[in-house]
Amino acid sequence: MRVLISLLAGSLFGAGLLISGMTDTTKVQGWLDVFGNWDPTLAFVMGGAILPMLIAWKIAARGQPLTGGKYPQASRPELDRRLVVGSVMFGMGWGLSGLCPGPAIASVTYGGIGGVVFLIAMIAGMFAAPVVGAQLDRAANPA
């Protein structure tokens, strides 16, 4: 059941990314290009995606998930060095390429060799992340 729900959620997510134009890097870079030919599409995508989730969080506030267990708690502390530095790095890569993780996975079959190279580089980055994260913690708390 959980596997089927995951397949359904991934399929909806992928369909939405393609239909919304978010696997087109010119649209994403167009959103980030505030001083160029600015493209507001991403705001509509984000707004559209947030609507069902506003309702979902309301439902989640009472009761438990369909397959049992508990809903995820908000993490503490809320803001830390990892969140800030990681988001800055992510934004740099996002601005450079116009790809974030969802669209990078969704478009891998039709994004040509560049799309495959991006996905491999991203996964390599995910392998390296624990090391970089540990460095960051050491810099924050020198022994």
Within 66-105, the residues that bind other proteins by CB under 8 A are 66-72, 74-75, 78-79, 82-105
Distance set, CA 60 to CA 40, 66, 76, 77 (Å): 31, 10, 20, 22
Given a contact cutoff of 8 angstroms between Cβ atoms, the answer to whether 45 and 22 are in contact is yes
Nearer to other proteins, 36 or 142 (CB): 36
Asked if 140 is part of the footprint of other proteins (rule: CB under 8 A), the reply reads no
- Residues 9-28 interacting with other proteins (rule: CB under 8 A): 9-27
Q: How far is the CB of 70 from other proteins (least distance, A)?
A: 6
Asked if 143 is part of the footprint of other proteins (rule: CB under 8 A), the reply reads no
Total residues at interface with other proteins (CB under 8 A): 116
Using alpha carbons, select from 30, 42, 38, 36 the residue that is nearest to residue 102.
Answer: 42
Query: How far, in Å, CA of 100 to CA of 40, rounded?
Result: 17
Nearer to other proteins, 58 or 142 (CB): 58
- Residues 25-44 interacting with other proteins (rule: CB under 8 A): 25-27, 29, 32-36, 39-44
Q: How far is CA 21 from the centre of its chain?
A: 15
Given a contact cutoff of 8 angstroms between Cβ atoms, the answer to whether 102 and 19 are in contact is no
- Residues 48-67 interacting with other proteins (rule: CB under 8 A): 48-57, 59-60, 64-67
Asked if 130 is part of the footprint of other proteins (rule: CB under 8 A), the reply reads yes
Query: How far, in Å, CA of 66 to CA of 21, rounded?
Result: 31
Backbone angles phi, psi at 80, to 5 degrees: -150, 175
Q: How far is the CB of 138 from other proteins (least distance, A)?
A: 13
Answer for which of 132, 138, 139, 140 binds other proteins (CB under 8 A) is: 132
